[in-house]
Structure 1
């Protein structure tokens, strides 16, 4: 295995669309979002009525536009149409008011979908923005490995958050417990050893799933590799200890075992440069999606012309 083999969002060819990989089932979430936001009467909708109107989607803070398919589907559900001026993945300039899209439909329906659509777009774009910064910092430092977001996502909103990571250019890591085997400290302590945990799970997971093993030191990492681990997660190792451990493992098992080394634990934008190195293949972090500032959008119905 070697690092740098996967494409990020910036490697997508013209015309390729990340929305194409979304599962058909996600659309059912939109009705749940509406059920939550309008559980009973839409009182204010009475005021604006059914007249056809046009609303402008404005980007009011800098960031990366992400979440277009979710925004589209919300307004499709509300019986409206969306015309995009900026493409998904585009940079919205800071300190300016940028026209991003035009939404058309009945006034009441525009306002019915407004907050649901804006909240989703703002959150997804915020994640894409931070993800893009991480990706760019790593590339500017000359590192060719993979930055990945973790599974520490919002319950019920994971698909949107993982989508934002991909638009921003980082790897979404595993999407759920079924995507890859990850043996963390609790699995190992409950089983008795790294070796027994790996051998036990391989019997049920078969050959097609990778096994990622959390290791606290060099000895644990060696054991994981010898037992058949595919990805060795060096958790909370920093500085010389991280890079010396990674180099020792790569040198010792060169030509004997194939594995990737993942660094994880407390990785932030400010600390990113200290974790990247020639023997690190993956950096996994929750900082690309936890606590991200949202990108600020607003939707404004155009004022009626006075006769």
Structure 2
């Protein structure tokens, strides 16, 4: 199963969690404070209400730890597992006040991340047997990019560039602003480290030829029809087999296999992180099963 391997990201995620909790709590959880004794303790069972791929359990653990380090969080599955409706994915024990304060943020994050992981796995499964890498884009929720890109990896996909700073990606507006592909590539090449790659977005065979002529490292085929895409891949591989070919634009579960069959190396799908169904996950206090406390 997939493991939480963000290394030094824990500190950054904790800082975000503090901000998200402050947004939700404000001056205090007035309902819990006025209805439940402060010394009340409970066991909370977190379970899924529909099948899917789980992602975000380590994040939920961080949420409850930030709320109250004395809470005991026990994951019953691992990120990356496919679970059925009704599966208990975690149990949290401790102060009832603390459990209820952390409940919504923990669930919100897990639901969204599990939704992304579930959708990503669908696309990965559709590519089974084909030598193509599925990647995400920068079309993420502001403030959630680190977590959403993590969820893509949990689902079996890979990450494209993380931000504007870690790769040169010359798109249509850069081409217009620079005065053409050749001018844009040459200007970038003069200023970036020799270790950084340059990707160029193309929409026609003429642009593909121009991107090839000026030594692009990665050529994106954007919203191309299958026939044009096959021709573009053939030209690129014939003259520069080392160049990575990426397909993007309008990729769906219905079209991704045909796109992959054109011979591209990478397929980027923005919808992995901006258009997905959040998995339905719930938390119940002192849940019973078969007459016994869970």
Q: Which runs of 5+ in 1 are unaligned?
A: 1-9
Q: CA deviation at 1:78?
A: 1.4
> What's the CA shift for 1:21?
6.5
The answer to whether residue 92 in structure 2 is matched with residue 90 in structure 1 is no
Question: After the TM superposition, which residues 263-302 of structure 1 pair with which residues of structure 2 at under 5 Å, given as runs?
Answer: 263-277=247-261, 279-302=263-286
> Which residue is 1:250 aligned to?
237
Question: Where does residue 206 of structure 1 map in the other structure?
Answer: 193
- How far apart in 1 are the matches of 2:163 and 2:6? 19
Q: Match for residue 119 of structure 2?
A: 130
TM-score, length-scaled by structure 1: 0.88
Q: CA deviation at 1:132?
A: 0.6
Matched, 1:195 2:182: yes
| Distance in 2 (alpha carbons) for counterparts of 1:108 and 1:154 | 29
Q: What is the deviation of 1:51?
A: 1.8
2:158 maps to: 171
Matches within 5 A, 1:1-307: 17-20=4-7, 22=9, 24-46=11-33, 47-48=35-36, 49-79=38-68, 80-93=71-84, 96-139=85-128, 142-254=129-241, 258-277=242-261, 279-302=263-286
Measured in 1, the distance between the counterparts of 2:4 and 2:146 equals 16
| 1:23 to partner: Cα distance | 5.7
Q: Say if 1:19 and 1:69, in contact at 8 Å, map to a contact too.
A: no
Measure, in 2, the Cα distance between the counterparts of 1:204 and 1:25.
30
Indicate the SS of the match to 2:30: coil
Change (3 A) 1:156 1:17: closer
- Deviation of residue 20 (structure 1)? 3.4
Residues 65-110 of structure 1: CA deviation (Å, up to 9, x unaligned):
10122101100011122101111111111xx311111001100000
What count of residue pairs does the alignment treat as equivalent? Answer: 285
Given that 2:44 and 2:287 are in contact with CA atoms closer than 8 Å, whether structure 1 keeps it comes out as no
Gaps of 5+ in 2: none
Query: Could you state the TM-score of these two structures normalised by the residue count of structure 2?
Result: 0.92
Which is worse superposed, 275-284 or 70-79? Answer: 275-284
